[in-house]
Structure formats: structure tokens, C-alpha cells
Amino acid sequence: MAAKLKTGAKQRIITEQALAMLAKHGLSGVNIAGLAHRVGLVPSGIYRHFKSKDEIVDAVLNLILERLTSFADEAAEASVDPFDQLRSLVQRHVAMLRDNPGIPSFVFAEAIFSSQSRRRAKVRRIVESYLARVARIIERGQELGRIRSDVEPKAAAVMFLGLIQPLIVLRQITDGAFDVRGQTERSWPLFVEMLKK
Amino acid sequence: MAAKLKTGAKQRIITEQALAMLAKHGLSGVNIAGLAHRVGLVPSGIYRHFKSKDEIVDAVLNLILERLTSFADEAAEASVDPFDQLRSLVQRHVAMLRDNPGIPSFVFAEAIFSSQSRRRAKVRRIVESYLARVARIIERGQELGRIRSDVEPKAAAVMFLGLIQPLIVLRQITDGAFDVRGQTERSWPLFVEMLKK
DNA sequence: ATACTATGTGAATAGTGATTCACAATTGAT
DNA sequence: ATCAATTGTGAATCACTATTCACATAGTAT
């Protein structure tokens, strides 16, 4: 038998491994047997730490929320110029999705259709938290006089999301052949120009 | 026993019902029992018309390809002004997705992660066919001198997609509360301005 | 009318994956 | 050292769906 860990530590490990599985292969790639194996347990052992698979998925969602908002914050702190901040966020976001293609697929598609409204609500919190941070950056840009004041920060934040979302789709269906960097280099200047004062 | 139909007619009916199920509840909402019930059959009866569920899903993908490209063409014929064409396409696209939220979820997420490359290839054809049509509209706009010539039509087409994609996500996670029309009215002018000469 | 093919049915089968359970080993506290 | 709670194990079970199969019926051509 393995060494005993502080309460909650194993939950954390399990959640992180579940996230890793989700990130690589989507929700269908997360199964109890594989997850147990990854954390050095036998399938039934998982149930000492979680009541059900559903509970695990919820924990994973919390972890995603945590990470997504934290790197949005990091991007905001990377510079004082709002465009630099957004640019940095795009880069981080794209890099994150490159390495974890299963996350958007889960958040933007599977979780959304969950019959449990609890789960949809959680996803909503994730997305809105992210959008709020983007909107905040834009708002500050307006205060600084760098961004035209006749655009609504929230609307622009949604467009920002639209800058990124298609990249993942195209990258995935082309088996990685789609030129994400190239597309970003073409669309980003247009986006900036659109917002610039 | 029901009346006999012309060969292929039942396949068509089954495929359409499967699409309807997919459109409402995503791929997980498509099951043989429910599908059989919808077309007035017992589950095993489905297998008189399709070899497997996979084959049904493939047929559904073909149907989606058909519909998507046909309404992209309709939009292109709706006007001669490229912006009117695109605007019309946005409206059609959004309306279509409002009524069939499961389609983008399937095309943009689940099918993409399919282990079968055949299926990914099919999705790729759908998306690229759509993008090609949008790019064509933009190209003509450039020839007409209405759209600035320093943007690449393909890149702009991807951005166009980005205009629409977030709407579905937001609409779905907010249980329909998200103001799709409002967002469109705010983002569309910005998009037009960005492309206008 | 006969025979052949296509279609439909109900029951059984199979495969996958989550979950339960009785039992064993470990840990921490007293 | 002992006890109780926690964690781990292996086997069994459950739930859900797709799928198969032997049999029945309807349509169609001869």
C-alpha cells in the first residue's frame, strides 16, 4: 500500500490527472480505469476520493476555471499597454489550446450540452470570468485613450474570443496542418486596427 | 407492418431524424432506440437500413454538408453587394444555429475528436467548403473595390467564422439569455468597418 | 398462386464503463 | 499495543446501448 497523503492531496492529484486526460483526448478520453492507473490505483480505489465520475468532472471544471483566470491575470500584468496585454493573452491562450485541445472541446461543446444545469452554470462562470477580464483590459485601454470609446468592452471581448475559437477548430480538423501562427499574424493587426483610436 | 417505401426513402427519413436529434441534443442525444421510435420502428429495424450507427452519423454529416453549403450559396445570391451577402449569411447562419445548437457542437468539437480520420476528413471538407464560399464573396468584394485589397480573403473568412462561433457558445451556456442579436448588431459594424476600403 | 426479396419484430447477446461491496492493509491517536 | 478511521484491492454487479438473430409479414415479379 502506498504512503498516506494529506487529506485532499490525492483528490488534487486525481483531478489533475483527469484534466490531463481531458486535455489530450476530450471528455470521452476520461475513464475511471485509465485515471486510476495514472494515479497508481485500482479503479474502485478512485471512489475513496470521489463519490462519482461526475464529481471528478466538476472538480476538473474548477481547475480549468482556476487556470484560465490566472493566466488571464498574468497576461494583464505583463504590460501596461492594453494591446500588448491582449496580444499576450492571445499568445498564451493559443499556446494553451495547442497543448490542450480537449479543453475547449469540452468547455465549448460537451459541457454546454450537459443535461445538468449545475454544470452549464459552472461553464458559464468560467467563460464570463474570462470575458470580464478581457473587457476590463479594453475598458482600461479606453480610459488611457488608446482604444476608441464607442465600442462596448463586453462586445469587443466576445469578438476577441472569436479571434481565437476558430483557430482551434481549424487546427484540429486539419490534423495540425492549419497555420495558426500565420492566421494570427493576419487577423491580429486587423483586430487592433479596428479598436485603435 | 407499414407500407413499403421507395429504396433509400427510409434511409433519408432516418438520417433526417438523426440530424434532428443531433441538432437538439448533440451526438450523445442520438441513440438507436430513440431514433427507431421516431421513425416508427423497433431498434433492430434500423439495421435493415444502415449497417451501423457510425454509418448513420456519416450520413448525417453528408446532410449537414449539403445544407450548409446550399445556404451559403443562397446568401451569395441574395444580393450583389458583398457586405449584404455576408450580412445575409450571418443572419442565416445564426438563425440556423439558434434552431440547431447541436450541429456546431458536433461539427466543431465531437467529430473533430473522432478517432476515425475518415470522419475528421469529412468535417474538414464541410468547414473548408464553407470558408471557401465566404472567401469567394470577399474576393469579389475586392474586385469590386468595396473591400480593402490588403486583407487575405481566407484570413478574413476565418475571422468571419469567429464572429459567429462565440454566439452559439454564449447562447447555450446562458440558457438562451445571451443577447445574440445585440452582440451581432455591435460586432457586425466593426467587422464591416475593418474590411471596408 | 408461388416464390423471392425487402422490411419489421422481439428476444437474446455483447461490450463498455461506472459503481458497489466485502475484505485487507495502513496510518494516526490514545 | 490497540483501536478506529482511512485508504487500497479484486471481484462482482449494474446500467446503458449497440448489435445480432431467428422468425414473421408485406410487397413484387413471374
Name the residue among B74, B183, B105 with its Cα closest to residue A169: B105
Contacts of B166 in chain A (CB under 8 A): 158-159, 161-162, 165
pLDDT at A145: 97
pLDDT at A3: 44
Cell of B64: 449537414
Asked if B162's CB is within 8 angstroms of A159's CB, the reply is yes
pLDDT at B16: 98
Size of interface A-B (CB pairs under 8 A): 126
Please answer whether residues A94 and A172 qualify as being in contact, where contact means their C-beta atoms are separated by less than 8 angstroms: no
**In the predicted model, is pLDDT for residue B8 greater than 50?**
yes
**In the predicted model, is pLDDT for residue A2 greater than 50?**
no
Give the gap in angstroms from C-alpha A27 to the nearest C-alpha of chain B: 10
A107 vs A113: CA distance, rounded Å: 10
Give the gap in angstroms from C-alpha A46 to the nearest C-alpha of chain B: 25
Cell of A85: 496585454
Return the DSSP state at B48.
G
Contacts of A187 in chain B (CB under 8 A): 155, 158-159, 162
Query: Is-above-0.75 flag for pTM?
Result: yes
Q: Which nucleotides of D are covered by protein (CB under 7 A)?
A: 6-12, 17-22, 25-28
pLDDT in tens, A71-110: 899 999 999 999 999 999 999 999 998 889 889 888 877 7
Residue with cell 485613450: A145
A47 CA: nearest nucleotide by C1': C19
Start-end of H helices in chain B: 9-25, 32-38, 53-77, 82-99, 102-105, 117-143, 153-173, 180-195
* Distance of A12 CA from D7 C1′ (whole Å): 15
A19 vs A107: CA distance, rounded Å: 12
Please answer whether residues A97 and B105 qualify as being in contact, where contact means their C-beta atoms are separated by less than 8 angstroms: no
